[in-house]
Amino acid sequence: MTTILRLIRFAFFFACCYAVNAGAVELATRSAARNRLAVDGLKAHAAVLSDDTFEGREAGKRGGRAAAGYIIDKLKSYGLHGAGPEGGFLQPFDRERNNVLAQLPGTDPELREEIIVVGAHYDHVGYGNARNSYGPYGYIHNGADDNASGVAGVLEAARVLAELKAPLKRTVVFAFWDGEEAGLFGSKHWTTHPTAHLHNVKCFINLDMIGRLRNDFVEVFGTRSAEGLRKLVTDANRDEQLVLDYKWELRDDSDHAPFFHKNIPVVMLHTGKHADYHRPSDDLEKLNFEGIQRVSRLTMDLVFNLADAEKLPEFRQLSKQEAVSEAARKAMDRPFAAPPSRLGISWREEADESKGILISSVQYNSPANKAGLRIGERITKWNDAPITSDESFQKFVLLATGTVRLEVADRAGATREASLELRGEPIRVGVSWAEDDAEPASVIVKRVVAQSPADRAGVLVADRICEVDGAPFASAAEFEERLGTMEDELALTVDRNGILLKFKLKLNE
């Protein structure tokens, strides 16, 4: 073999290794990042910020300023750059309030101009009063969950991403807002006095109260603000498998609101209100740190998805209507009415399977009605095949095409043959679906036919199908086309509350 050939082969081998390694590196970076986001770090931040010495971190008060100081020290120790005015970490604004901002510059020559902001408010209500507390007033409200938990999550994510020198394509800004409790003043100030071009901000991830995870349940707000945003969140949830409750409504109750009103896509993660909300009892010992770790890891994976995506979706105006009206969501959630059954009877399974099925009702003008089937009669054979169970009968009805010959036994036991054509198309898969323009690369299951392959596999109404045989599709039309090419079996991946589930469907059994 000539030297040149040997050289070419070596170069090719090296290129392959590098390509694989590139994906492997990104994957390695992600899992390394996830593993390094530690409970100890989260505990340390939450313990400091929710300590009485910070006097409930009221905006513009010494406790609030001390908290800002603590956060800046941490960000500096991670080697991050400031993202405030003149590259500093602090963005002062009215009445001695201060936003704290840091950034991890992107590496891609073009995409690094685009910015992903991930943030949390660090202020709380101080000693509490009639306007901001459920009481008792006058006691330090340490705000361990609201929102030392969110700040701890963002700080740990910032530390890990900075330490890993994670080669993210887009720039990530870590933002710690002041004045949220008094009226979202910090985030409002930054979105009206941004320290980066606002039109370059492609998404804002808001962590507010992530400290009380119960039953793996996380409320996710804002994903309808951009096409395919839910898909990016669900994908980021592959490892943590949290139960994500995707909300349509979006209130002006936390720092995502000023971004949303500036037409910037937003995602807010929240583990739910509780009895200690805005009370002096919102304390450290009530936090679920494993829960904070899991939500923070999900956040970090979402940052990876957003910072490295080829292209990010634009803001979706329709989400503004959806945010304030339940109507659209209710319509989307409403399952399709059951179609007229193909045969037009209801039946009871006979105890003795050899006796077939017993007709318990016949729909007027249905194929069964027109063929003269009556209540109390039994169907014992289907195209000469004995009916051995309710299931086998269901499958016959679902898959039948053309003319069917039934053996029918009357109440006296006399048998006769009845021929008929069933209504509608054979049901090979057994799902009906609807499109959702906010998530074009998925379809929503609106009906599952009993005993159909989809039903037997475990697909449920409201599941979002997002892959066929492990491959995504770009639209409902492409999904339908793919379904049409399936022969004996297919695998469907569904997004059910943010968890991806795979189902194997056997089509002709």
Options 207-215, 280-288, 344-352, 353-361: segment touching Zn ion (CB under 5 A): 207-215
- Residue window 167-206: x/- pattern of binding to Zn ion, with contact defined by CB under 5 A: ----------------------------------------
Rounded to the nearest whole angstrom, what is the least distance from the CB of residue 145 to Zn ion in the complex? 8
Q: Rg (Cα) of the chain, in Å, rounded?
A: 29
* C-beta closer to Zn ion: residue 147 or 237: 147
Question: What is the rounded distance in angstroms from the CA atom of residue 502 to the CA atom of residue 200?
Answer: 37
Residue nearest to Zn ion (CB): 146
Q: Does 282 bind Zn ion (CB under 5 A)?
A: no
CB atoms within 10 A of CB 199: 12
Rounded to the nearest whole angstrom, what is the least distance from the CB of residue 180 to Zn ion in the complex? 6
Question: What is the rounded distance in angstroms from the CA atom of residue 258 to the CA atom of residue 83?
Answer: 19
Q: Which letter does DSSP use for residue 391 in this model? A: H
Rounded to the nearest whole angstrom, what is the least distance from the CB of residue 273 to Zn ion in the complex? 10
- Which two structure tokens, joined as six digits, stand for 26? 């990104």
Options 18-26, 143-151, 290-298, 404-412: segment touching Zn ion (CB under 5 A): 143-151
State the angle between helix axes of 39-49 and 150-163 in degrees (0 to 180), rounded to the nearest 10. Answer: 130
Question: What is the rounded distance in angstroms from the CA atom of residue 281 to the CA atom of residue 292?
Answer: 19
Question: Would you put residue 228 in left (φ > 0), alpha (ψ -120 to 50) or beta?
Answer: left
Q: Does 319 bind Zn ion (CB under 5 A)?
A: no
Q: Does 276 bind Zn ion (CB under 5 A)?
A: no
Burial letters 477-496, b for 16+ CB under 10 A, else e: eebeeebeebeeebebbbbb
Number of residues that bind Zn ion (CB under 5 A): 3
Options 147-155, 281-289, 339-347, 375-383: segment touching Zn ion (CB under 5 A): 147-155
CB atoms within 10 A of CB 193: 12
Strands (E), 291-421: 345-349, 357-362, 378-382, 385-386, 403-409, 415-421
Q: Does 147 bind Zn ion (CB under 5 A)?
A: yes
Q: Which of 208, 276, 301, 439 binds Zn ion (CB under 5 A)?
A: 208
* C-beta closer to Zn ion: residue 147 or 293: 147
Rounded to the nearest whole angstrom, what is the least distance from the CB of residue 208 to Zn ion in the complex? 4
Q: Does 146 bind Zn ion (CB under 5 A)?
A: yes
Options 139-147, 159-167, 183-191, 360-368: segment touching Zn ion (CB under 5 A): 139-147
Question: What is the rounded distance in angstroms from the CA atom of residue 341 to the CA atom of residue 261?
Answer: 48
Rounded to the nearest whole angstrom, what is the least distance from the CB of residue 255 to Zn ion in the complex? 8
Rounded to the nearest whole angstrom, what is the least distance from the CB of residue 86 to Zn ion in the complex? 29
Rounded to the nearest whole angstrom, what is the least distance from the CB of residue 181 to Zn ion in the complex? 7
> CB-side exposure of 137: number of CA atoms within 13 Å?
6
- Binding interface with Zn ion (CB under 5 A): 146-147, 208
